[in-house]
Copies of this chain bind each other. A is one copy, B any other.
Amino acid sequence: KKIAVLQGDYIGPEIMHAGLEVLKLASENTSFKYRIYNYPFGGEAIDRYGEPLPEETLKGCQDSDAILLSAIGGPRWDKKRVRPETGLLEIRKHLGLFANIRPTMINKVLAEKSPIKAEVLEGTDFVIVRELTSGIYFGKPRELDAKLAIDTSSYKAEEVERIMRVGFEMSRHRKKHVTVVDKANVLATSKLWRKVAEKISEEYSDIKIDYCYVDAAAMKIITQPNSFDVIVTANLFGDILSDEASVLTGSLGTIPSMSVGVRGPSLYEPIHGSAPDIAGEGIANPISMILSIEMMLRESFKEYEIANNIAQAVEKTIEKRFLTPDLGGVATTNQVVKEVIKNLK
């Protein structure tokens, strides 16, 4: 299998290296064979080619079976004409990465660091399915002059339909409950979302569907996080709510994500940023990268055994409190990686 690797900026290369180390050891003596192809992306690519998503990188990604991305951007490029984040939007659009999937699960050990009370977190296990290639992120016209600015949010019924299907399919193997988050009391696009959701839900009569306004959802994610199973929502709402939800876990540094391509490869990445403040110190938390790789093995390659092995090794590592400073521990990136590898079966 061909894996395209975009190691990114600041702590990016450190955690990517850590993750690939675990992948190597976990796949040893299995039938899973893969090859790594490195491509420049984000800030690194701006420095070398003047653009965050060079042609070569895009081609390489299109040619691959899965893409691993660590984290990009940082203050070094804040004043540049082109910003690393533009590369994110471009790769999403070009590869048709229309569905972004982020799990929110509570690990008892890490939940101690959560700002939310333990009794509220009890039983929390939901997934946010965020539409990623349309909505206000990409709508035209987009205009800006000194006196006026305009953004456009638009959705086609077919775009809503395919993301709804991702949500329903996921829910089928979970708690069979889909919540559509929108602002249908104000927005035309949200009204379309509801209409399409209602139609699709007829095909999934075993799955309960309900609707929640985005403002109410922003409250409920904190007050009753265990009332959700699968949340399906538009690009901008998903951006806000998935970051809000990540706080519940008490451990941003452990959350992976997946962006599903229409056809072609999916992309896997940690949800956190490039952490310029701790880059180079060898203390970046590698767990979200390792779990992104685990997710890739499971979702793109159906290598459930290897994935399960990695998952339980990470679990054990956390239980034994081999934790980096962001999780309140004193371990280095290397120590965590070594411990994960030791815990592999």
Q: Which residues of A contact B (CB under 8 A)?
A: 83, 85, 89, 115-117, 120, 136-137, 139, 142-144, 146-158, 183, 185-189, 191-192, 195, 214-216, 218-219, 222-223, 236-237, 239-244, 246-247
Contact = CB atoms under 8 A, between A and B. Distances in A.
Given A183-B236, A222-B116, A192 B243 contact: no
Given A115-B222, A146-B157, 17 more contacts: A83-B185, A85-B185, A115-B120, A116-B116, A116-B117, A144-B191, A146-B195, A147-B158, A148-B154, A148-B192, A149-B154, A150-B153, A150-B154, A151-B153, A215-B239, A218-B240, A222-B244
A1 to B, nearest CB: 32
Contacts of A183: 236, 239
A252 to B, nearest CB: 8
A150 B151 contact: no
Given A148-B157, A153-B153, A137 B222 contact: no
| Dominant SS among interface residues on chain A | helix
- Among A219, A237, A241, the most chain B Cβ lie within 10 Å of the Cβ of A219
26 contacts: A83-B185, A85-B185, A89-B186, A116-B222, A136-B151, A136-B186, A139-B150, A144-B191, A147-B156, A148-B192, A150-B153, A150-B188, A152-B152, A183-B236, A183-B239, A214-B240, A215-B242, A215-B243, A216-B243, A219-B243, A219-B244, A219-B246, A222-B222, A222-B247, A237-B240, A240-B240
